[in-house]
């Protein structure tokens, strides 16, 4: 039996929802944008970077004072203004101050605003980060764990990614420190270690300062003088080098950290360049203290455009919050409120990436309250911001959603126990209701780019929540109902595929999932497919086992269960390995890589 309820509640109820008034006051920011030729990731004909202060008025307008550099030209002063909007969950649309007409797909957290212009149609890829500025009395009190991403001269020829720690001594001096990183211009990108001695720093009471790590030298990982900005809380340091294209981010270390310390949901954004592509992304990350985390990312990648991604990564943390996430280095800091990471790996020496994350806001509301960050794929439990799709099972979290717990039988009704749900004004079939959680089906007629969701309990409407919509949003059910790990996969005799009875090369297996979109022939909302009719999903799908393509022989609804999709898949032969292998689902607009399959 496949359970249709999600596991992960993403936020606690301890604050109100958000609006433009939430984002107000003076922030320091760094913004780096790489304009490519659209074909060769090594060719960056139009790099632009900007840093300075951005002031939000709380009414949807901002003003900027800073320095901009374009290509290898000298930096010039810039003053500009633009518009922004903040929705109830902290999703921010921000006019790009570097690219006219582009919008930054940003996220708000108490420690930072971060994002990337994932929806722009040009060949540009960027990362924006802003931190609240202190009013006065700022003190640089290390240590801070830093990551950096640099494109000297706006070129990939000597691009580099670094990890290091800064700790201040008296009279503006820094402790000697080691830099671990790699550069495209040094040893073919293989990771190196550089010792830095005699570094100095300055920091004013307004939170602006700098540090100097020696004369500029392209044969070193970290050199020159970088501007530093200190956040109002002192938890984050942000900066870059005047006159070039880079970004540096430091976070206060954790104390006595272990893997279990990292236990929260975060907004995140990043910028990546490797041998095949340039990409920017904005999304969310869920870490539950168990050594694995789940990312959902809205990517914009060279030659691929915009698409949605969900995936699981393994992580390890050391006592100060530094560690690794698969092939990247990580620093979690400030009492689990922020993290920063960079791609530094001998296994992937051609990858140069920096990502930054901030804990999501805690949200609450009176009466019938639907959490704006609590609309999740019922199978994958992918973090907030992952879209919904026609026909998908979704889990809605909140408070006061129903007077008591009740479950419906198929066909699922549009009202259950006095509860109804409207998605884009259309009734959603309801499977399960309780005070804190609902499970409903997205009507097949739902189209995007966004949809509104309203819950009605006993005649009282909830707040309205707006979520992104996509043609598909695949989520494979898992045996432990967590959204990751062993997938809900059966042999053709309907026995479980697991370690005791693994699948074999060339075998056909049945994969159960949700979020595969509209079907043909059409079907009424909330009704189950029947065994005499093949209800096929209208979009194409690919399946990969450890990166090797499998053959999909059926893609459609499973008979007997509304909203439950089934893929019949012939596994590749030979298989690339035995044991537990990752299984990924790819559609025209999404890539889902959260589950495993046992094979022999």
Torsion angle defined by CA atoms of residues 356, 351, 582 and 340, in that order, rounded to the nearest 10 degrees:
-20
Q: pTM score, two decimals?
A: 0.95
Residue 347 and residue 430 in contact, taking contact as beta carbons nearer than 8 Å: no
475-599 CATH pick, 2.60.40, 1.10.287, 2.40.10, 2.60.120: 2.60.40
Per-residue DSSP letters for 379-438?
Answer: TT-PPTTPPB-TT-EEEEEEES--SS-EEPPSSPPSEETTEEEEETTEEPPEEEE-SSEE
**Regarding beta strands 590-599 and 485-486, do their DSSP bridges make them parallel or antiparallel, or are they unpaired?**
parallel
The fold of the 369-468 domain, in CATH, is Immunoglobulin-like (2.60.40)
- At residue 170, the pLDDT reads 86
CATH 2.60.40.10-classified regions of the chain: 369-468
Query: pLDDT for 51-89, tens place per residue?
Result: 999 999 999 999 999 999 999 999 999 999 999 999 999
Residue 412 and residue 442 in contact, taking contact as beta carbons nearer than 8 Å: no
pLDDT over 70, % of the chain: 98
3-state class (DSSP) for residue 244: coil
What secondary structure, in 3-state letters, does 294-355 show?
EEEEEEEECCCEEEEEEEEEEEEECCCCEEEECCEEEEEECCCCEEEEEECCCCCCCCEEEE
- At residue 9, the pLDDT reads 32
| DSSP state for residue 445 in the 8-state scheme | T
Query: pLDDT for 338-359, tens place per residue?
Result: 999 999 999 999 999 999 999 9
What tokens were used for 426? 């259309």
Query: pLDDT for 441-480, tens place per residue?
Result: 999 999 989 999 999 999 999 999 999 999 999 999 999 9
What band does 3 get if pLDDT is binned at 50, 70 and 90?
very low
Cβ partners under 8 Å of residue 277, min gap 6:
41, 301, 302, 303, 304
Gyration radius from the chain CA atoms: 24
| DSSP state for residue 168 in the 8-state scheme | B
- At residue 17, the pLDDT reads 87
Residue 470 and residue 448 in contact, taking contact as beta carbons nearer than 8 Å: yes
Residue 112 and residue 236 in contact, taking contact as beta carbons nearer than 8 Å: yes
- At residue 218, the pLDDT reads 87
CA–CA distances in Å: residue 81 to residues 55, 62, 212, 449: 9, 5, 31, 27
Query: pLDDT for 275-294, tens place per residue?
Result: 999 999 999 999 999 999 99
What band does 518 get if pLDDT is binned at 50, 70 and 90?
very high
Query: pLDDT for 171-197, tens place per residue?
Result: 899 999 999 999 999 999 999 999 999
pLDDT, mean of residues 298-304? 95
- At residue 15, the pLDDT reads 46
| Averaged pLDDT score across all residues of the chain | 95
């Amino acid at each position: 039996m496949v359970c249709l309820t999600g596991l992960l509640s993403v936020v606690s109820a301890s604050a109100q929802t958000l609006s433009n008034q939430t984002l107000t006051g003076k922030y320091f920011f760094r913004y780096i944008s790489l304009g490519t030729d659209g074909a060769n990731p090594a060719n960056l004909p139009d790099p632009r970077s900007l840093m300075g202060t951005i002031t939000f008025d709380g009414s949807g307008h901002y003003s900027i004072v800073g320095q901009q550099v374009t290509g290898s030209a000298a930096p010039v002063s810039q003053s500009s203004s633009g518009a922004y909007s903040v929705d109830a969950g902290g999703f921010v649309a921000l006019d790009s101050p570097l690219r006219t007409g582009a919008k930054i797909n940003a996220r708000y957290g108490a420690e930072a605003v971060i994002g990337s212009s994932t929806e722009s149609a040009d060949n540009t890829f960027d990362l924006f980060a802003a931190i609240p500025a202190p009013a006065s009395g700022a003190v640089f009190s290390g240590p801070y764990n830093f990551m950096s991403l640099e494109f000297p001269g706006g070129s990939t020829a000597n691009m580099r990614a670094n990890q290091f720690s800064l700790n201040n001594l008296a009279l503006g001096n820094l402790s000697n420190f080691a830099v671990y990183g790699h550069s495209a211009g040094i040893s073919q990108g293989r990771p190196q270690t550089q010792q830095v001695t005699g570094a100095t720093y300055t920091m004013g009471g307004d939170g602006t300062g700098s540090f100097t790590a020696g004369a500029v030298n392209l044969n070193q990982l970290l050199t020159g003088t970088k501007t530093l900005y200190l956040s109002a809380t002192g938890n984050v340091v942000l900066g870059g080098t005047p006159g070039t294209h880079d970004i540096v981010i430091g976070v206060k270390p954790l104390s006595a950290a272990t893997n279990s310390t990292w236990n929260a949901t975060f907004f995140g954004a990043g910028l990546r360049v490797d041998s095949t592509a340039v990409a920017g992304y904005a999304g969310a990350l869920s870490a539950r203290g168990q050594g694995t985390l789940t990312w959902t990312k809205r990517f914009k990648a060279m030659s691929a455009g915009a698409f949605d991604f969900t995936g699981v990564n393994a992580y390890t943390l050391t006592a100060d919050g530094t560690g690794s996430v698969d092939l990247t280095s990580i620093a979690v800091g400030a009492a689990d409120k922020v993290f920063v990471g960079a791609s530094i790996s001998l296994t992937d020496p051609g990858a140069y990436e920096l990502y930054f994350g901030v804990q999501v806001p805690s949200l609450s509301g009176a009466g019938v309250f639907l959490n704006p960050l609590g609309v999740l794929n019922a199978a994958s439990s992918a973090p907030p911001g992952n879209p919904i799709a026609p026909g998908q099972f979704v889990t809605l979290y909140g408070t006061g959603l129903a007077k008591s717990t009740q479950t419906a039988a198929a066909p699922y009704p549009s009202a259950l126990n006095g509860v109804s749900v409207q998605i884009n004004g259309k009734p959603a079939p309801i499977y399960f209701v309780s005070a804190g959680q609902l499970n409903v089906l997205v009507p097949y007629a739902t189209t995007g780019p966004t949809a509104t969701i309203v819950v009605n309990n006993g005649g009282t409407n909830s707040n309205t929540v707006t979520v992104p919509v996509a043609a598909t949003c695949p989520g494979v059910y898992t045996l432990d109902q967590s959204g990751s790990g062993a997938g809900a996969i059966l042999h053709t005799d309907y026995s479980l595929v697991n370690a005791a009875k693994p699948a074999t090369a060339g075998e056909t297996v049945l994969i159960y999932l949700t979020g595969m979109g509209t079907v043909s022939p059409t079907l009424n909302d909330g009704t189950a497919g029947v065994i005499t009719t093949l209800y096929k999903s209208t979009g194409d799908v690919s399946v990969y086992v450890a990166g090797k393509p499998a053959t999909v022989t059926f893609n459609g609804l499973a008979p007997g269960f509304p909203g439950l999709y089934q893929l019949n898949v012939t596994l590749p032969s030979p298989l690339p390995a035995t044991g537990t292998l990752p299984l990924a689902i790819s559609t025209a607009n999404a890539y889902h890589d959260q589950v495993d399959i046992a094979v022999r």
